[in-house]
Structure formats: structure tokens, C-alpha cells
Chain A
Amino acid sequence: MTVSKFKEALNSGKFVVTSELGPPKGTNLDQMMHHIELLKYRVDALNLTDHQSSVMRFPSLGGCLAVKERGGEAVLQMTCRDRNRLALQADLMFAHSRGINNVLCLTGDAVVVGDHKGAKGVFDLDSVQLLRLIRQMEAGKDMAGNDLDGAVSFCAGACCTPEASPIEPQLIKFEKKVEAGAEFFQTQAIYDLEKFAKFMEYARQFPVKILAGIVLLTSAGMAKFLNANIPGITVPQDLIDELANAGRGRGLAKGIEIAGRMIAALKKDSVCDGVHIMAIGKEEVVPEILAKAGL
């Protein structure tokens, strides 16, 4: 049986770093391959998004295979939006057979926020049920209780939103995900380190690893856009001001600096077990962020 290098990293006690890549809209894989080459040995694992924001793209599974083939460690993002329980199980078996050992279980964004608004949203399972399904398949049974000729094995994780309001329903769901078998969490973007530290105090009761979500800010405008449009993300005013004061054309450099600074702070105080960097189209600069963070 293949082992998850990512799981080994999580259990090693080191500060784990993952980064996210969005597969292309189309079959030209050049840029994705370039980013995989750039990052595969710089981070502990690369997540490939699954029709992020419900926008149809090259599949996460295809991206994960590309990472694997190039010697990297991949985390399969799997949403419940477009596949029913049969398709999810088939994809899990296929991923396992090809050496993809990590899966991030997500409910998925609503269909209408994406670019195929008329599509039928599936949501046959939710993220909690998907986690349980994985554990059942690991025990050699499919969801209907039939025996599998060959089980699967995954390091399975999920997402949570430490800055959501109200927070309590999210924490209840977090606990349900832990009970369902989540081993690690990659959080939605965090910017308020104090708030996040409070969340970590709570999360530390549970035997799971927490990777703080770091979304790269590229300008004050982008930060304001996140505040207005992305649920669960709140960029504090002082960071917006810092970006605005960076000067013309200096937004990205300032964003890299902020991300690096936050990662360094999280690592220095061992606030969490690692970070998950989401550069959203600017994957090119992830090595710079890591350098700024002293990693």
C-alpha cells in the first residue's frame, strides 16, 4: 500500500505547507504543469481545485495525476456539487488506484454562483457524509454495504471557516467532520490572527491538524472585493490601508509581504500545524511568499 507523504508530514510535527492550483479551463495544461514544476518540491502537497466557484474546468483528478506523475504529492479536492454517490465512489477508487492518497472533502459552491447556472446541482451527499463514505470504503464496503474487491485508503480532510459569523453553527459542523473521520482541516482565508488564535484554542481539543488558509491579497481593491463577495472572509481595515499605501503597482509585492509575514507569525508561535496558500491565479509568486515567510 502506498503511503501518504502528506500524512507523514502532518504527523512529523513540522510546519506543513500546502498550496492550491486551479486547473485550466480547457485542455492547454502548460501553465498548470509549469506551476506544478515550480512548486512540487517547495510545498508538502498541492491541492487541485474542483470546479472552483462552480466554474467548469479541467478536473481536479486530472490535475492530481499530473502532480503525481511529476513526483509531487497531491490533495484531491472533491466536491459534492456535481457527482452523486456512485460517481464519487468511482472517482475515489480511481484516485486510490493511481496513488492519490489525500482527499479534501467539500460540499462545494452552489451551481448558480458559477458559469453553468442552468446545471442541476447534485449534492447527493454533503461533506460530512462524504467523509464517512471514505471511512466506510476504507473498511472494504461501498455505500450500499456491498463488499469492495480492494479497498481505498486516504488521508481525508475538510474545510472550516474560523471567521464566519455566527461561528457556532460552523463549529458544530467542524465537530461533525472530526467525528466523521477528518484528519486535517484547511481553513477558509484568515486575516485576523487574534480571532484565529481563539479558534485554534477551541480546535486544539480535537485530534486533527489545522492548516490556516492564506489567500494572497494583490491590491486594496481586491481586499474590498473579498469582503463584499466572499463569505467568511474579512480583511481588516489596517491591511486594506497597508495595501492602499503601498503605492502604484506595488500591491502585489505588498500582498506577498503580508502573506509571508502572517505565515511567519503563525509558525513562530506554533499557532497551528501549517498553512494552506491560495494564490488564486498568482501561483507564480508562491515561492516568493515562502521566502518572505522564511520557509
Chain B
Amino acid sequence: MKSITRQKPLEEVIQQVRSFDQIYILGCGTCATMTKTGGRDQVIKMKESLEGLDKTVTGWAVIPIACDEMTEVAMKENERPIRNAGCVLVMACALGVHRVSSYTRNPVIPALDTLFIGLEEKPGLFKEVCAQCGQCVIGETAGICPVTECNKGLLNGPCGGTNEGKCEVDKNKDCAWTLIYRKLKAQGRLNLMRKYQPPKNYQMVPRPKAARISIGEENRE
């Protein structure tokens, strides 16, 4: 999974940390490094920006995978400078922010907005491919998710707004259903497009989502 993030405008970060003179900064070595939003270079740049505002940066680190449990170990190693800070500014996706916040009593402030989970199509171009709806249909839509990629999330084929394979909303964007159609046709499975897809069950998209997944007896706590 790749969590796609965007840096918040610096003014918004400054606004959020305005009451703290001492700040500790955490970056993430995985997704936020890949998106160049919370890697080493961005963390150092943030440190310089904050110091330029007469803030004290008590320390910084780039945690290998901010969202996993090893974050606790990394934070223990940096316990003192974290404790000396008034807040922890986290340059990771929201999962990393939540992980970090569970290991410190300090206020935790995100420096990034978490946009979606997606894939890097071309260097620097990230595309959402899954809306995490809990009812995967891509087995019948040639591996292309209409819930995510169609502006209207349509399940039964294209809307009348598509033209020359492009989306009604954005002429530069491919119509998801035209892509599905072409791929199913090439696979000799166009009959799948004729199948009626019933309305989605939005009870399957609860907020907050939670799942108990069997991990085998030996791994049970």
C-alpha cells in the first residue's frame, strides 16, 4: 500500500504550531519519502523553516515505516528531545500520525494531508485505484475499479456524458467504463458488462471501519 500525501501549506502548519516554541519533527521513510512530502530532505527543510520563525527544533528523525509498531522503538530512542518539545510535527500520512500519537503524551500535529492510497503511474504521478469500499468488483471489471475511477462511481456501465473515451468531468481523463469495456472485450469477457450490478451496500462502508481478521491460533494474543 502506498499512502499518497501532500504537504499542508506552510502557513497552515505555522498556524497549528503557533503556541509551541519547541518542536520535534518526525518524517517517514516509506510513502512520504516516495511522495517527497516527509522524507529526509523535506524534514530538514521544515526544520529550517521553523527555525527561521524563531522556533527551536529539539530534534528530528525519519522513521523507517511510521505506521508500524517499530515506531515505538524509534521514539524511545529519541525520548528526551521528544519530551523536551511542546509538540511533535509528523510528516507522515495519517496512519503514521496516529501511530506516533499513541506513543507520546505530547500534542501531535500533521504536516501533511493524506489524500488516498494509490500507485505511482509515472515518476511523480500518483493515481488512486482503490476507494476501500469493502465490496471489491474488479474481478468483473477487468481490474479497473469503477467506484474509484468513475466520477459518479457507476456500477452498470458508462454514463451518457462520456465522449471519445473521455470523462464528462475532465476531457483529459479516461472514462473508466470505456477502459473497462476495451479490456473486457480484449479478454473476450464482454458478457460481464451485461451483468446487472445491484446497488452498493453502504453498510459495508462503515465509519470508523474495523475488521477482525483471522491470523491463526498461534499468533493470537
Contact = CB atoms under 8 A, between A and B. Distances in A.
A170 B156 CA distance: 11
Contacts of A125: 199
A128 B197 CA distance: 9
Contact of B160 (A112, A129, A232): A232
B13 to A, nearest CB: 24
Interface in B120-178: 151-165, 168-169, 177-178
Nearest to B158: A169
Nearest to B164: A165
Given A188-B160, A231-B163, A123 B178 contact: no
B181 A173 contact: no
Interface in A172-192: 172-173, 175-176, 179-180, 188
Nearest to A129: B199
Contacts of B209: none
B220 interface: no
Interface string A97-127: 0000000000111101100000001011111
B194 interface: yes
A56 to B, nearest CB: 18
| Chain B interface mostly | loop
A172 B193 contact: yes
Nearest to A122: B152
B196 A128 contact: yes
B216 interface: no
A149 interface: no
B161 A169 contact: no
B206 interface: no
Contact of B162 (A129, A164, A176): A164
Nearest to B169: A110
A129 B151 contact: no
B155 to A, nearest CB: 6
Interface residues of B, number: 29
B208 interface: no
Contacts of A61: none
Contacts of A112: 151, 169
A132 B155 CA distance: 14
Nearest to B163: A231
A26 interface: no
B183 to A, nearest CB: 12
A224 interface: no
Interface residues of A, number: 36
Most buried by A among B152, B162, B177, B202: B152
Contact of A126 (B151, B156, B164): B156
Interface string A123-167: 111111100100000000001000000000000000111001110
Contact of B165 (A121, A126, A166, A176): A166
B9 interface: no
A85 interface: yes
Most buried by A among B156, B193, B202: B156
A51 B198 CA distance: 25
A128 B169 contact: no
Contact of A231 (B168, B177, B194, B202): B168
A201 interface: no
A29 B11 CA distance: 48
Interface string A206-249: 00000000000000000000000001100000000000000000
A194 interface: no
A179 B157 CA distance: 14
Contacts of A30: none
Nearest to A172: B193
A244 to B, nearest CB: 24
Contacts of B154: 107, 123, 126
A113 B161 CA distance: 11
27 contacts: A110-B151, A110-B161, A110-B168, A110-B169, A112-B151, A113-B168, A123-B154, A126-B152, A126-B155, A126-B159, A128-B157, A129-B155, A129-B156, A129-B199, A159-B160, A164-B160, A166-B165, A166-B181, A168-B181, A169-B162, A170-B157, A172-B190, A175-B194, A176-B156, A231-B160, A231-B163, A232-B160
Given A81-B152, A176-B196, 13 more contacts: A107-B154, A113-B169, A121-B152, A123-B154, A129-B155, A169-B177, A169-B193, A170-B160, A172-B193, A188-B160, A231-B168, A232-B161, A232-B163
Q: Which 10 A-B pairs have the closest CB atoms?
A: A231-B163, A173-B157, A128-B156, A169-B181, A123-B152, A161-B160, A110-B169, A231-B161, A107-B159, A126-B154
